[in-house]
Structure 1
Amino acid sequence: MSVSLGQSVSDFSAPATGDKTIRLSDFKGKQVVIYFYPKDSTPGCTTEGGDFRDRKAAFDEANTVILGVSRDGLRAHENFKAKQEFNFDLISDKDETLCQLFDVIKTKKLYGKEHLGIERSTFLIDDNGKLAREWRGVKVPGHVDEVLEAAQRLNTG
């Protein structure tokens, strides 16, 4: 069952960079941005991650944690994070638990062939663990600014 706007997001536990296990409950009292992206070290995903990296201080000021999620393994995540100097953790969702919770696996077409993949999506969870905003089918340019604005509004609201 996937999460809906205004509903509490189920606590989850997932492996992340820095040899961590991340639990949503670890961030009680903070807002959380979870962004799903298709694949490490691809152009759009590198740009999107870089935009989050470059605005992290503003997200921190808005009491908001950033987490990136894809189905890549931890080794790929560690390399991607180090190479791009990401200042937030990346979660490995190889078993698609989080992908299913947020309903981001969609049929995509590549070179005329259909396959299942992650639809670029971002979710903003409020400081009480409820889903406050969602963006699906994200286009990278300008997206992080929109998410930041929503996080700042939610934090002052």
Structure 2
Amino acid sequence: MNQPVIDRPAPDFELPATGGGSVRLSALRGRNVVIYFYPKDNTPGCTQEGQDFRDHYAELQALDAEVLGISRDSARTHENFSAKHGFPFPLLADTEEQVCALYDVIRLKNMYGKQVRGIERSTFLVDADGVLRREWRKVKVKGHVDEVLQALQSL
């Protein structure tokens, strides 16, 4: 599986988004983009991660950054999750795992003694020129948004 490469153009994609319509990464050129992949809507870690991005959204916007959350959940599930927690950024539905494959975030995980395929919590920072500048894999939620803010400040 190919992985995205730091200092090379980020793989482009288009996915259905909350709020109707879709989001294409290349349409956001001119702005920094934080793309975070998370395992599942309405789970404790994923909820906390979304809330952390929500709570720091004004700071991210001040650094000319847009936030995109991506999981394999449906657009309908995303709508409910987003509305429940007041996320000001779009959640994108990658139900076919196409973008997950582009960014190489699907891993085998152990769940209740069984191996299952799932998203490894990962974040990617794309600069205003569409170039991948930073990636975080196996993300621990606590303190992660602060790391992303620091990376944005250094661009």
| Interval containing the TM-score (normalised by the shorter chain) | over 0.9
C-alpha displacement of 1:10 = 2.7
CA distance in 2, matches of 1:24, 1:140: 24
Amino acid at match of 1:29: G
Residue pairs, 1:35-114, within 5 angstroms: 35-114=36-115
| Structure 1 range deviating more: 39-48 or 143-152 | 143-152
The aligned counterpart of 2:127 is 126
**1:63 partner amino acid:** D
Can you list the C-alpha shifts for 1:19-78, whole angstroms capped at 9, x where unaligned?
Answer: 121001111110000000000000000000000000000000101000000000011000
- Secondary structure in 1 matching 2:154: helix
Range with greater deviation from structure 2 (89-98 or 6-15): 6-15
List gaps (5 residues or longer) in structure 1. Answer: none
Instruction: Give the letter aligned to residue 84 of structure 1.
Output: H
**2-structure distance, mates of 1:101, 1:2:** 7
What's the secondary structure of 1:69's corresponding residue? strand
**Aligned partners of 1:3 and 1:74: how far apart in 2?**
25
TM superposition score normalised by structure 1? 0.96
- 1:69 partner letter: I
> Structure 1 vs Structure 2: percent identity of aligned residues?
55
**Paired position in structure 1 for 2:144:** 143
Q: How much does 1:13 deviate? A: 1.0
Cα displacement (A) at 1:11: 2.1
Instruction: Tell me which amino acid in the other structure corresponds to 1:145.
Output: D
Any unmatched runs of 5+ in structure 2?
none
Greater shift in the superposed pair: 10-19 or 123-132? 10-19
1:33 matched to 2:58? The reply is no
- Matched AA of 2:43: T
Deviation for aligned residue 1:151: 1.0
SS in 1 for 2:110: strand
RMSD: 0.7
1:95 and 1:2 map into 2 onto residues whose CA distance is: 18
Q: What count of residue pairs does the alignment treat as equivalent?
A: 154
